[in-house]
Structure formats: C-alpha cells, structure tokens
A and B are shown apart, each in its own frame.
Chain A
Amino acid sequence: MYSFEPIQSVRLITDVCLDVAPGENVLCITDGEDKMDVITLIAAECKMRGAEVAIVLIEPRLHHHHEPPRSVVGAMREADTVITMVYGSLMHTKARKEACAAGVKFAAMEEAVTKEYIARLDLTKEHLMEVRAFTEKIAQHLTAASFAHLTTKAGTDLRMSLQGRNGVALLPFGKKGAFCVIPDYAEATCAPIESSVEGVAVVDGTMVGGADFQGLVEEPFEIHFEKGRIVKISEGKDARRLENLLDTFGEEARTFAELGINSNPRLPKKLKGTRADNAIAGHVHLGLGRNDHIGGNSRGESHLDVLVTWATLILDGNTILEDGRLNI
C-alpha cells in the first residue's frame, strides 16, 4: 500500500543530510521494487530542488563488496551525488572509492532503512545536530588518545594503541568526495595501530559484512587477537559462521581493523541484526579486514564488523563509556 508518510524524512535527507543543489546531477541506485516508493520520492524532491536525477535499478549484490555493473561504475563517477538504497550499500566497493576520489558525494541507506522505517522515522534537524555534536566530541577524544582499553561484562578485554591515528566522525551528512550513511547513522571510529591490538573480544551482538553471514549472534563466542591478528576463535554456530566467511578471503581478513564507537543515542536500543546496529549508542563494533577508508594500513578485500554490547571504554585513563553509558 502506498504511503505518503515518507515525505517528511525524505525532505530531511535531501535538505539537511545532502543539501541537494540546483543543477546537480543526482544518481539514485536501488535494487528492489519494495524500495521504489522511497527512491521515487527522493528523486522527486531532488527535482524540486532543481537537480537532474537518474534512477538506476540493479540486481541485488551478493555481498557487501560485490562491485556494481560496469555501466553503473562509470555513471557513479560522473554524478555529483550518489544515493544508494541497495543490499550491501555499495560503500565498501572499489566503484564507491573511485567515485569519491572523483569528488562524488556518496550517501547510502543501510538495509534496515526500509520504506516502513522511513515512513515511521521521527527525526528532526535538531536531533541530527545533537548527534553530530556528540559524535564529533567522541572522535576528538579518539584523536587525542594514545591508548584504548575496551571491556564488557560478557568478557571482552582488548588493549590497543591509537598513537598517531585520528578519530573519524561518520555522520549522516554528505560531503564532496566522502561517503555517509543516511538518515540517522552515526559512529566515531578509529583505526588502531594494527599490530598493537591484544586481547579477546566476546562477540554477543550483531555481525555484518556478508550475505549469509550477517545477523544477530545467538551463541556468543570469543575472538583472540595477538599483534592485531586473529589467532583463535572459540566454538559455537556463530563462531563457525565467522570462521567460514574468513576462510573465503585472504589472510588480511583476519586483521583487527577498527574500533567503532556507536554514537546515535536516539536509536531504539533493540538490535535488529543489520548494519544499523553499529550506530546504537552504548555498544561498540569492531572491524576486521580493510581499514584504509578510515586512515588505517590494512587493504584487504573484505571488511566485517562484530558488535560487543554494553561496553566500557577507557581512553588514556578517561572512562568515555561505562557499561554502555556514554560519559562525555
């Protein structure tokens, strides 16, 4: 059933998040009938703002780094703004990197952002500004810090050096040459010195990064790191899920890549089993594999995220997060 409710959030996207300008070339990429209502509204709003729009429909990608079709790669590079509502978001593809290198403003809607999500979203410009201030503060703390100690009640205990690495605020605001996740995704993230990561992560949240792979964890398990590499994964069906996926990639997939501090306190706390969970404040997600998009040295072909819930994070002796309560 067609709903006109999404228009409010769609306006927020084209206005606050992306500031679509007259004369811009906007490319909206999607992969399903169920997404066309929202994409059509976005395209209409862009046209209203004087932009030139093209909607592109592709077949759903098989996993998060499955490249788009060749004609779409070229099209992305020539656009001013690219908005995606596709499985996998296209964020972790070479095509996206090439487009950003060419100055494209790239904005992705994650899987959890369905037509219903957009229709029910109760988000305002003020909310977005709050989340921005918050996230940037955490990012500043990450930049200033030399050392991070992450623990959870479930048993996570990781230490790592952040020396010389900058915190990156990932916000739902578009910028030329960069990517963002709209409309309400926020995290402050940092690529630690890869070889410095030691300890154990007890994964009890969501895992994302592949088609059959992604979802909630039913049997929490351990990942042991030495010198930033996975040396052991414990037992259990979710542990095996991760192990099986890692086996399909090269060695670089087993590098600790990212310390991601989820930073949107307005999102409902319940985990959904999708990438959107990586924005729910109070939890922390850890990246494995590629991290050159946030200033790290790892260039593998994969990037997977695993979530640890209700975290305690101490940066250079300052407790930033305590059992999931942000303390800044």
Chain B
Amino acid sequence: MMKKIEMIKGAKKILDECTKVKKGENVLIIIDTEMPLSIAETLAMACKEREAEPVIVIISPVSGGGNYPPPPVAEAMQKAQVILQGSVGIFHTPSRVRATNAGARCLIIAQFSEEDMFKGAIETNFLENKKFVEKLGDTIGKGKEVRITTSAGTDCYLDLRGRLQKVLTFTGIYDQPGDAGSLDLEVAVSPKVGSAQGVIVCDATISLLTPGLIRDPVRMIVKDGMVTEISGGEEANEIDDLLAAMGDSMVYNVAELGIGVNPKSVLRGSHKDKGVYGTCHIGIGSNVTWGGDIKAATHCDFIMNAPKIELDGKVILENYQFNL
C-alpha cells in the first residue's frame, strides 16, 4: 500500500516523459493476474490527474504458445491512443502492431513489480540517453555483417544486407504516434532471414524461462538462420521441450540481434535483462515487430553476458564498452 507513494514517481515519468499522455486520450493499461493491481491503479490515478481516460484490463498470463491477446482485448487496443502493456507476450503480435500502425503509442511494463516503478531501468534519464541510443541504431543500421563472440563460446555470424529495414531503437521515449517499446532500452535489428550461422551460448537469461538467471549455459547451433540443436543442462532441456511443444517450426527462426543500452538496468533473471547496458541477445521466432511476416507461436530472447560485437570488421562493443 505505502509503495503507492513511491510508485507515483514512476507513473509520472511514464505518462509525461515516456508517452506524453494528453488530456482526453484513451489510455489502456493491460496487466495480467500476476502483476500487482496497485501498479495499474497508480497509473490510472496519474491518467486522471492529466485528464486522460484510463481503462484497466486484467487477463490471464499469456502462455508460451499462442501469444495473441483474447479478441476483446485485441480490439480494445485498436481504439486506445496509449497502451501500457503489462501482460507479457502481446508486444510481438499482429494486433499490437496493427494498433501502433494506426497511431497508438505503446510502452511495455511487462512483469513489473512495484519496485520497478521507482527503481532500476526507470531511473535513467531517457532524454539524455536518447542520442547515444540513436547513434548506435544508426551505426547498426548502416552495417552489412555482424559477428558476435563471447568467452562462454558464442560465435555467430549474421548478414544485415537484405534484411527487414526497421531498426528498433528503444530509447524510452514513445511520444509519437506509432512509437512502441520498453524501458529495457535496446537497439534491435532483424538479420537477413536464413543468414545466421554459428553457435550461440546463452549464459544470462532466457525470456521464456524467467524468472531466474541461467545456471548451466545453453548452447544452440544455428544453421542457415534456424536453431537446429539445443544442448546443455536442465535449462537447455526445458527450453528445448517448451519450443518443441509449440508445434511450430518457425519458432526456431533467428529473428533478432538486440543490444542492451540502459545504464540503470540490472541483470536479475527477468526478460528485462535485455536492457542491461552492454549485453546482447538473440531473439528467435516471430519477426512481425520488424514488419516481417513470420508469425511464429512465440518470440524468445537469449541474453548473453559481455559480448564482443564486430560490425563490418570493427569492434563496436566489448566488455560493456561501446566504441562508435
């Protein structure tokens, strides 16, 4: 209850700095039953303060397969100007993309605890940090080939030529129609379909297996843009089984290279880890967020510690230091 006093800070930041909610706007706050209602209530209160109209929607946590929201919720999204998305799994869906294409602004607040409303990623000065994020986005956008290596054993090649054009830059500022992203700041690009080759060793976090940091690194072989083999310990078996159970071969599609750029994010074993400054992640499954037509049963991120990223032969990231 008393946390509401602290949470109002985050609500203010979210509605003013991040999404610039205006008087008269329809704000849709979607949470799942695992998220504290207090977060939605605090956001709704702040909406009222700004004379915007809040609607809170509570749904069951979206399961691994079939991440689309129930039709009534998908429809509700089409009529909102601002969507605060607290339910995991809606972001990479056609209905979310349709809503933002129609002009909605969407901020992901998935798996937020009450602390996340005033501690961690939310503390960054997003306006100040924006320039750097955009510069990285620009640099990646002009790149042709990427090589990712880590001391844990990752060695993966991606072709950026002939890829889907969109470069996702999550700056934390989503105040224009069509803007969408999270406070787990990142720059993410979708490599040319079929081009990924090599080995990925995930040693930080796997988004579908959260909460919890990875204990036994998960090793994935990538051939012609698809994950062909998963090996390791318990977690490797778990993710292997989970993906296989979805009955959709496209979940193995290498859809994304993302780089974390939020200096206040802390590695904790949640999907928010992808924002941790200087980490990177490979996302597999859906690529609709980049405008692609691969609508897989899921989109799963594999986050790696201390990556070395070479873009067209030049090292742009090593040991959590950027060199642009």
Which residues from chain A sit less than 8 Å from chain B, CB to CB? Answer: 25, 27, 47, 52-59, 69-79
Q: Is B127 an interface residue (CB 8 A)?
A: no
Given A53-B60, A69-B26, A74-B76, is A25 in contact with B55 using a C-beta cutoff of 8 Å? no
Pick from A47, A59, A74: contact of B75, CB under 8 Å: A74
Minimum CB distance partner of A70 in chain B: B79
B59–A54 touching, CB < 8 Å: yes
Stretch from B65-73, B140-148, B250-258, B261-269 forming part of the interface with A = B65-73
The distance in angstroms between the C-alpha atoms of A59 and B41, with both chains bound, is: 11
B73 surroundings in chain A (CB, below 8 A):
54, 75
Q: Is B28 an interface residue (CB 8 A)?
A: yes
Interface string of B30-68 (1 = CB under 8 A from A): 000000000010001000100001111111100000000
B56–A56 touching, CB < 8 Å: yes
A72 surroundings in chain B (CB, below 8 A):
55, 76
Interface size bucket, B side? 20 to 34
Pick from A53, A69, A78: contact of B59, CB under 8 Å: A53
The distance in angstroms between the C-alpha atoms of A76 and B70, with both chains bound, is: 12
A70–B26 touching, CB < 8 Å: yes
B58–A55 touching, CB < 8 Å: yes
B60–A71 touching, CB < 8 Å: no
A53 surroundings in chain B (CB, below 8 A):
59-60
Minimum CB distance partner of A27 in chain B: B72
The distance in angstroms between the C-alpha atoms of A27 and B77, with both chains bound, is: 15
Pick from B55, B59, B76: contact of A57, CB under 8 Å: B55
B75–A77 touching, CB < 8 Å: yes
The distance in angstroms between the C-alpha atoms of A71 and B52, with both chains bound, is: 13
Minimum CB distance partner of A74 in chain B: B75
Pick from A69, A78, A79: contact of B55, CB under 8 Å: A69
The distance in angstroms between the C-alpha atoms of A74 and B98, with both chains bound, is: 15
Q: Is B154 an interface residue (CB 8 A)?
A: no
Pick from B40, B54, B56, B70: contact of A25, CB under 8 Å: B70
CB distance from B107 to the nearest CB of A (A): 16
Which residues from chain B sit less than 8 Å from chain A, CB to CB? Answer: 26, 28, 40, 44, 48, 53-60, 70-80
B57–A59 touching, CB < 8 Å: no
B58 surroundings in chain A (CB, below 8 A):
54-57
CB distance from B166 to the nearest CB of A (A): 26
The distance in angstroms between the C-alpha atoms of A25 and B73, with both chains bound, is: 10
The distance in angstroms between the C-alpha atoms of A5 and B26, with both chains bound, is: 36
A73–B70 touching, CB < 8 Å: no
Pick from A47, A58, A59, A78: contact of B72, CB under 8 Å: A78
B54–A78 touching, CB < 8 Å: no
B26–A78 touching, CB < 8 Å: no
CB distance from B41 to the nearest CB of A (A): 8
Pick from A55, A70, A73, A78: contact of B71, CB under 8 Å: A78
A-B contact pairs, 19 of them (CB 8 A): A47-B60, A52-B60, A52-B70, A54-B57, A54-B59, A54-B73, A56-B55, A56-B56, A56-B58, A57-B56, A69-B26, A69-B53, A71-B76, A72-B55, A73-B79, A74-B72, A74-B75, A75-B73, A79-B71
A56 surroundings in chain B (CB, below 8 A):
55-58, 76
The distance in angstroms between the C-alpha atoms of A138 and B127, with both chains bound, is: 68
A57 surroundings in chain B (CB, below 8 A):
40, 44, 55-58
B78 surroundings in chain A (CB, below 8 A):
71, 74
A59 surroundings in chain B (CB, below 8 A):
48, 53-54
The distance in angstroms between the C-alpha atoms of A69 and B72, with both chains bound, is: 14
B59 surroundings in chain A (CB, below 8 A):
53-55
B57 surroundings in chain A (CB, below 8 A):
54-57, 75
B48 surroundings in chain A (CB, below 8 A):
59
Pick from A25, A55, A58, A71: contact of B79, CB under 8 Å: A71
Pick from A58, A70, A73, A78: contact of B74, CB under 8 Å: A78
Known: A25-B71, A54-B57, A71-B77. 13 other contacts (CB 8 A): A52-B70, A54-B59, A55-B59, A57-B56, A59-B48, A59-B53, A59-B54, A71-B55, A71-B78, A72-B55, A74-B72, A74-B76, A74-B78
B56 surroundings in chain A (CB, below 8 A):
56-58
CB distance from B294 to the nearest CB of A (A): 25
A58 surroundings in chain B (CB, below 8 A):
55-56
B72–A54 touching, CB < 8 Å: yes
CB distance from B174 to the nearest CB of A (A): 18
A75–B76 touching, CB < 8 Å: yes
Residue from the set B40, B48, B78 with the largest chain A CB neighbour count within 10 Å: B78
B74–A71 touching, CB < 8 Å: no
B76 surroundings in chain A (CB, below 8 A):
56, 71-72, 74-75
CB distance from A243 to the nearest CB of B (A): 32
The distance in angstroms between the C-alpha atoms of A47 and B264, with both chains bound, is: 39
A78 surroundings in chain B (CB, below 8 A):
71-72, 74-75
